[in-house]
Amino acid sequence: KAGVTQTPRYLIKTRGQQVTLSCSPISGHRSVSWYQQTPGQGLQFLFEYFSETQRNKGNFPGRFSGRQFSNSRSEMNVSTLELGDSALYLCASSLNTGSEKLFFGSGTQLSVL
Amino acid sequence: GESVGLHLPTLSVQEGDNSIINCAYSNSASDYFIWYKQESGKGPQFIIDIRSNMDKRQGQRVTVLLNKTVKHLSLQIAATQPGDSAVYFCAEYTGGFKTIFGAGTRLFVKA
């Protein structure tokens, strides 16, 4: 069974641009969560989706958004990029509720110049 | 506020020794706790979990202890190996489809 797949693996953008990251969960997993990982802040929860519905959102500005498709694949978008958005963005999937163990992808490393 | 913290940012142990990584949590309503291991260039990987109705759970070379009285969680790794070198995160499910992660402890294993 294939694991969680995130694309692209690396991204370099400049301030003010926007970016879209993609995540394909493990087959059969319907819950997708996104996290931002930085050396200073650790793993910060961005949002969680299930059946195309956002069920929870972390404390991030509205520039951070996401969506989930009917096949459970998910995307997150960051608009008007800032230098502080440079981070590793991790996607995790779980079977259903989010109260189960999470399976993580390898992440997308975003650098904002 | 919600937080899951770690007592030590780094831990260095001799190969073959036992490792103990500690974690404090603040939400007494949390009912599910997980330890993850993250190696360089990879996402966190599940190691072991424990529900709040238990105080100890054992896996292969790993044991998690939960002390709800003082809101403390620990991960014990027996006979630590070089392959155990990684960053370890405790995580806490607080409900609302959200898992909160601690800051992480980097484990160094000396040969």
Query: Which tens digit of pLDDT belongs to each residue from B11-48?
Result: 999 999 999 999 998 788 888 999 999 999 999 999 99
Query: Torsion angle of alpha carbons A64, A23, A102, A49, nearest 10°?
Result: 50
Picking from A31, A45, A99, the nearest residue to B100 by CB comes out as A45
Q: What percentage of chain B reaches a pLDDT higher than 90? A: 77
Which stretches within A24-80 are classed as H helix?
Answer: none
Q: What is the largest CA-CA distance in chain B?
A: 43
Tokens linked to A87:
């981070």
What are A4-22's pLDDT values in tens digits? 999 999 999 999 999 999 9
Residue B7 has pLDDT above 70, yes or no: no
Which pLDDT band, with edges at 50, 70 and 90, does A93 fall under?
Answer: very high
Per-residue model confidence (pLDDT) at position A10: 97
Quickly tell me which residue has 């995580």 as its tokens.
Answer: B91
Whole-Å CA distances, B97 to A42, B11, B15, B105: 19, 31, 38, 25
- Mutation test of the interface with chain A: which of B98, B100, B106, choosing the one with the most A Cβ atoms within 10 A? B98
Question: What do you get for the CA distance between the two ends of chain B, in Å?
Answer: 40
Stretch B47-65: mean pLDDT, rounded? 96
Which residue type occupies B39? E
Q: Where are the beta strands (DSSP E) in chain A?
A: 5-7, 10-13, 19-24, 31-38, 42-50, 53-57, 64-68, 74-78, 87-94, 103-104, 108-112
Q: Which of A98, A86, A78, A94 is nearest to A10 (CA)?
A: A86
Q: How far is Cα B98 from Cα B53, in angstroms, rounded to an integer?
A: 20
On whether the CB atoms of residues B54 and B62 are closer than 8 A, the answer is no
Per-residue model confidence (pLDDT) at position B2: 40
On whether the CB atoms of residues A11 and A53 are closer than 8 A, the answer is no
Whole-Å CA distances, A107 to A17, B2, B62: 20, 24, 26
Interface of A with B in 13-52 (CB under 8 A): 31, 33, 35, 42-43, 45, 48, 50
CB contact under 8 A, A92 and B43: yes
- Which positions in chain B have a beta carbon within 8 angstroms of at least one beta carbon in chain A? 31-32, 34, 36, 41-46, 49, 89, 91, 93, 95-104
